[in-house]
Each structure stands twice: as structure tokens, then as C-alpha cells.
């Protein structure tokens, strides 16, 4: 049958996390609290870093951009989820679904690349301290951040184009609370085997490659710290410990979700909550509680605001 004979789907129905009204109200409360923490925590980090000249090192420059990405990343899914949980309206237009899919992968992959850059920053600070200032100059930092956004855009446009070229003619029920490539592709009225493998190669391999680079950098850092146990290096290692927590929360669920074609394993929408909501919520907590400089700057900012 020719593709022109298909009646095109104009909207999708997001089944959400539960049909139980009591559970929906519970999820609404939890998502609202998590989203508020993401917004307030990451905005506080951005304001603190931007207003305190003492936080001008490349690490805090990259942390500021990570906070901005976390706000954008969570805002792609959280508002729609909150509206659906409160009102029960689960329909999303086809164009809105594709837009959510694009921005989710655009910002999400940009965050993965940025976390990899932050690991490189910590590796350079610990393993090559004499060359750190030259390697991580401000111009180089801006170039690395721009490369992260460019890489995220290229990755996302590939995913979106692969999805848009599929015909959608029948079922329109997505077994998730947001539009993502795997649950959307499963609804296509065509053989999607090749598309699924291409998407798994794209999203899954990017997640795995970034994760392996991060692991390799931590191994090198640990080897260097064992050889030189100075107080400064232990302090840098403490920063890496918090970085490892963020990386684990983000990369492991993404690798499990995307490094396989759709349908090979049942999708678990609760795992998606970890990397779409929980990980961005933990970033400000981990980085502020593990950094005396950031906590001190926040306290000075608080005193200036009260004055």
C-alpha cells in the first residue's frame, strides 16, 4: 500500500505513569517538587557563579552551563507531565510531540557531551596542573561548550529526521509520559527494523562512548592521585566523586534505554524518570554540598540580598 493512502495521525495519547487518580496526584506532587528544586537549585548556582569573581575557574564556568542545560532539559518534559497529571489531558499534537522529541535529545545529548568535557577539565587539573591554565583557557572553554551544543544538535536532528520519515497511520497511544524516539517509532505503520538499529547506533553508542571516556578519565585520575597524595589533589578527587554520582544517574539508564532497538526489551517508563527528572534535580545538591567555595559564595550572596 502506498504511503499516500495512510490516514496521518494528528495527535498522540500519552498514557503517563498511572491511571489511578490517587497515584496521579502523588506523582504530580513529586514532579512539582522535583521541578521546583531543579529550577531554584540550578538558577541559584548560575546566579552565584555569575556574581562571584572567586568562582571564575573553568570548573565553575562549565558548572554554570551544566545548570542551564539541566533547566532546559527538565523543562522539555516536566510542564507537560504536570498539566497531564493535574488535568487528565494526555493528548499531544503530532507537531508538539516531534518538537519535544527534538529538544529532549538536543539538550540531553548536549549535557552528555558537557559532562565529558567536565571530566576532561578535572583530568587536566589533576594530571596536568602546570598546563591547566593554558589548556582550559576561557576561549577554549567557550569552544568546548559550543562544540557540545553543536554535537547535540546534529545528534537530535538525525533522530528527528529518522522519525519524521516514518508513516503514522493507526495506533497513537504512547506508553510513556513524554515523546521519545523508541515509543514513537513503535507506532509507525512500516517495518522499522533498520530505523531502530540506526537510532540505537546513534543514541546508544553516543551514551556508551561518552560513558567510557568518563570512566577512562576517572581511572587516570585515580592512578595519578595514588602516585601523588597532596591535599590539593584529594580536593580535586572529592569533586570527581560528585561528578561520578551525576554520571551514573544519567548515563546508566540512558545506555539501558537506548542501546537496543525498540521491542527487544519492554520499555520501563519509570527508568526514564531517573535521567529526565532525578538526575537534573541532584546536580545542584551534589555540587553545592560537595563544594565549600560554592556554599561560601551562596552565603555571601544571601547576606548581600538581606542587606
pLDDT, mean over the chain: 83
Strand partners, 12: 92
DSSP 226-281: HH---HHHHHHHHHHHHHHHHHHHHHHHHHHHHSS-TTSS---HHHHHIIIIIHHH
Please state the rounded mean pLDDT for residues 122-129.
Answer: 85
Instruction: For residue 144, name the pLDDT band (cuts at 50, 70, 90).
Output: very high
Q: Could you tell me if residue 246 is inside a domain? A: yes
Question: Comparing 63-77, 103-117, 130-144, 185-199, which segment has the lowest mean pLDDT?
Answer: 185-199
**Can you name the residues that pair with 174 across neighbouring β-strands?**
14
**Residue 6 included in any domain:** no
- Secondary structure of residue 10 in the 3-state scheme: coil
DSSP 33-83: HHHHHHHHHHHHHHHHHHH-GGG-SHHHHHHHHHHHHHHHHHHHHHHHHHH
Structural domain count, the chain: 1
- For residue 248, tell me if it sits in a domain: yes
Note whether residue 99 is domain-resident: yes
For the segment 135-146, the average pLDDT, to the nearest whole number, is: 93
pLDDT tens, position by position, 84-102: 888 878 889 999 999 999 9
Q: Which domain holds residue 32?
A: 11-301
Question: What is the C-alpha separation between 14 and 179, in angstroms, rounded?
Answer: 8
In a domain, 104, yes or no: yes
Q: Residue 109's pLDDT is what? A: 93
Cα(32)–Cα(84) distance, rounded to whole angstroms?
12
Question: Edge to edge, what strands does the sheet with 11-14 contain?
Answer: 91-93, 11-14, 173-174
Residue 95's domain is classified under what CATH number? Answer: 1.20.1070.10
Q: Is residue 30 part of a domain?
A: yes
pLDDT in tens, 242-275: 667 778 888 888 888 888 766 555 557 788 888 8
Q: Note the pLDDT of residue 7.
A: 54
Report pLDDT for 303.
74
**Within a domain: 48:** yes
> How much is the pLDDT for 2?
43
pTM over 0.75: yes
How large is the average pLDDT for residues 168-187?
Answer: 86
Predicted confidence (pLDDT) at residue 11 exceeds the cutoff of 60: yes
Q: Is 277 contained in some domain?
A: yes
- Mean pLDDT value across residues 213-235: 71
Amino acid at each position: 500500500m502506498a504511503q499516500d493512502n495512510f490516514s496521518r495521525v494528528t495527535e498522540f495519547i500519552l498514557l503517563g505513569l498511572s491511571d489511578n487518580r490517587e497515584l496521579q496526584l502523588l506523582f504530580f506532587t513529586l514532579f512539582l517538587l522535583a521541578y521546583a528544586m531543579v529550577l531554584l537549585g540550578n538558577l541559584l548556582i548560575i546566579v552565584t557563579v555569575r556574581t562571584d569573581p572567586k568562582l571564575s575557574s573553568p570548573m565553575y564556568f562549565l558548572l554554570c552551563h551544566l545548570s542551564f542545560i539541566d533547566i532546559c532539559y527538565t523543562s522539555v518534559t516536566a510542564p507537560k507531565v504536570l498539566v497531564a497529571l493535574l488535568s487528565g489531558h494526555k493528548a499531544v499534537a503530532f507537531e508538539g510531540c516531534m518538537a519535544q522529541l527534538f529538544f529532549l535529545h538536543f539538550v540531553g545529548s548536549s549535557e552528555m557531551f558537557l559532562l565529558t568535557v567536565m571530566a576532561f577539565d578535572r583530568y587536566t587539573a589533576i594530571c596536568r596542573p602546570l598546563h591547566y591554565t593554558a589548556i582550559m583557557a576561557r576561549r577554549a572553554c567557550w569552544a568546548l561548550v559550543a562544540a557540545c551544543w553543536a554535537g547535540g544538535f546534529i545528534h537530535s536532528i538525525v533522530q528527528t529526521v529518522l522519525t519524521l520519515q516514518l508513516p503514522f497511520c493507526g495506533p497513537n497511544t504512547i506508553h510513556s509520559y513524554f515523546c521519545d524516539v523508541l515509543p514513537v517509532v513503535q507506532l509507525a505503520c512500516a517495518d522499522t527494523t533498520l530505523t531502530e538499529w540506526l537510532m540505537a547506533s546513534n543514541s546508544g553508542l553516543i551514551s556508551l562512548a561518552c560513558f567510557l571516556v568518563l570512566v577512562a578519565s576517572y581511572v587516570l585520575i585515580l592512578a595519578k592521585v595514588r602516585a601523588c597524595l597532596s591535599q590539593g589533589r584529594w580536593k580535586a578527587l572529592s569533586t570527581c566523586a560528585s561528578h561520578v554520582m551525576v554520571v551514573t544517574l544519567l548515563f546508566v539508564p540512558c545506555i539501558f534505554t537506548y542501546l537496543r532497538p525498540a521491542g527487544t526489551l519492554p520499555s520501563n517508563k519509570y527508568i526514564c524518570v531517573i535521567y529526565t527528572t532525578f538526575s537534573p534535580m541532584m546536580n545542584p545538591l551534589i555540587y553545592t554540598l560537595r563544594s565549600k567555595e560554592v556554599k561560601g559564595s551562596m552565603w555571601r550572596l544571601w547576606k548581600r540580598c538581606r542587606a
